Structure 1
Amino acid sequence: MIKISIRNVTQTFPARGGAEPYTALSGLDLDVREGELLPLVGPSGCGKSTVFALIAGLVRPSSGEVLIDGVPVTGPALDRGVVVQQYTLLPWRSAQANVEFGLEARAVPRRERARRARDLLELAGLTGDTERYPSELSAGARQRVALARSLAFDPGVLLMDEPFAGLDARTRESLAEDLLRVWRHTGKTVLFVTHDLDEATRLGGRVAVMTGAPGRIKEIVSDREAVATHG
């Protein structure tokens, strides 16, 4: 079953000073299966983050369509969790309180949101750090909090845009293992944007490889050697 479907999407952005509009994506097609963790890999500037923004509902396609469960995406919604490189945790709130924040806004009862936050932090590997503040956590731990927060509303889709960029190799590997554990436990559909071929092949059974700008899907491959060849 297809969870996310992108059909013949072209995305252009206006240019300054009367220049020609910039075409970020051209005729892009992509399907993400229900319950799949699909890395999206390609060179810098190929439009990976634009694909992320389209599925998240942050921008509308210039042409073509983006569907989730067969329904057109018209804007952000709680059926999609988002994790980006800049995790934007609230510095005055503990890890637990950061995960609870959105649930408070939705008037989820205190005991329920506390239980949900604890469970998600435990799943993310932060059992002993629930009361620590972001400034007291490592960069990797802060990203684990961001992952737990993104799952608080139990979204069907998790969108991740270069979430481990800027971290050291050991931390990236550890976070990748944490993500795989969370994915296997929750069965979420995950689109993971990265420029790192090793990271892509470590995470995904299939990997979507993009061309340079204007971006399109060059191929869907399923082994390390093929990804390296086509990347």
Structure 2
Amino acid sequence: MTYCIGMRLDQGLVFMSDTRTSAGVDNFAVSKKMFHWNVPNERAITIMTAGNLATTQSLISLLNERSVLAGERDPNILRLPTMFQVARLVGDTLREVITGSSPTGQTSDDQFGASIILGGQIKGGKPTTFLIYPAGNFIEISDDTPFFQIGETKYGKPILVRAYDRQMEFADAIKLLLVSFDSTVKSNLSVGLPFDIQIYENDSFSIERTKRVDTDDAVYQEISNGWGDALRDAFRLLPSYEF
């Protein structure tokens, strides 16, 4: 399992993913789940993956391989003119990988399934994010749905729904995402540190603002401990329910 969030703000996009992979309760490992493609001053694209590790690694390898000789391979992620067309390409490639891995063809509950968050901006278009399903179909982020989650989503969603504000600064958005991730880590062993974070500022066409948060990160520890204390204080302030 895993946990990834892609969020849209007025300032731009924020992405965060964990790095834990598991094959049973006693077999954990660290694996990167956030990947980038960048053509300075022209496009910045980020992908986060959840699901079968072999499927997601094959997807990323195919996208990379097909973009190496950009002048000879079309379509590819470095040449498509819009993020919508990139989403179609990623969806088609994901479906290709899953179908090729399953001996009986693709099914809705396929063990080779995976979900993708794709986000970024291509010059001439707006920054945007897509949620891509195992079947290759996808939806785009909107004012009604300003963030996407994949993986182990249920534990971290309540704080996002209550505290999200599209006008918040990047620093506050990261704090919000860290609380969401911390709640998930404390509830599910299949999600864990380190976390990868990326900020994309509108029209920057750059993915330089990235960071990995590990267990010894002082700010993360302060947020984690402070959130626990704040919840206990808030609970004590609520009225008791007598009957």
> If the length of structure 2 is used for normalisation, what is the TM-score?
0.26
Identify, as 1 or 2, the structure richer in helix.
Answer: 1
> If the length of structure 1 is used for normalisation, what is the TM-score?
0.27
